[in-house]
Amino acid sequence: MEILLGALNPIALKLGPFEIHWYGVIIASAVVLATFLAVREGKKRQINPDDIYDMILWALPVALISARAYYVVFEWSYYAQHPDQIIAIWDGGIAIYGSLIGAGIVVYFFCRSKWIPVWLMLDVAGPVVLMAQGIGRWGNFMNQEAFGRITSLQFLQNLHIPHFIIQQMFIDGAYRQPTFLYESLWDILGFILLMSFRHRKNLFKRGEVFLSYVIWYSFGRFFIEGMRTDSLMIGNVIRVSQVLSVVLFVGGITLWLIRRKRMPNNPWYLDGNELNPQKS
Model confidence at 91, pLDDT cuts 50, 70, 90, reads low
Query: Residue 73's pLDDT is what?
Result: 86
Report the pLDDT averaged over residues 1-11: 65
Query: Residue 2's pLDDT is what?
Result: 44
Q: Judging by beta carbons within 10 Å of its beta carbon (0-12, 13-18, 19+), is residue 201 exposed, middle or buried?
A: exposed
> What number of helices (H) and strands (E) belong to the chain?
10, 7
User: Which strand (E) or helix (H) includes residue 104?
Assistant: helix 96-114
pLDDT tens figures, 134-187 = 999 999 999 999 999 999 999 999 999 999 999 999 999 999 999 999 999 999
Alpha-carbon dihedral 139, 141, 142, 145, rounded to 10 degrees? 100
Q: Is 137 annotated as a binding residue?
A: yes
Return the ∠ at Cα 10 (arms to 192 and 76), rounded to 5°: 85
pLDDT tens figures, 174-215 = 999 999 999 999 999 999 999 999 999 999 999 999 999 999
| Between 17 and 66, residue with greater pLDDT | 66
Q: What percent of the chain has pLDDT over 90?
A: 73
Supply the DSSP string of 9-30, one letter for each residue.
PSEEEEETTEEEEHHHHHHHHH
Most confident residue range from 94-98, 142-146, 196-200, 274-278: 196-200
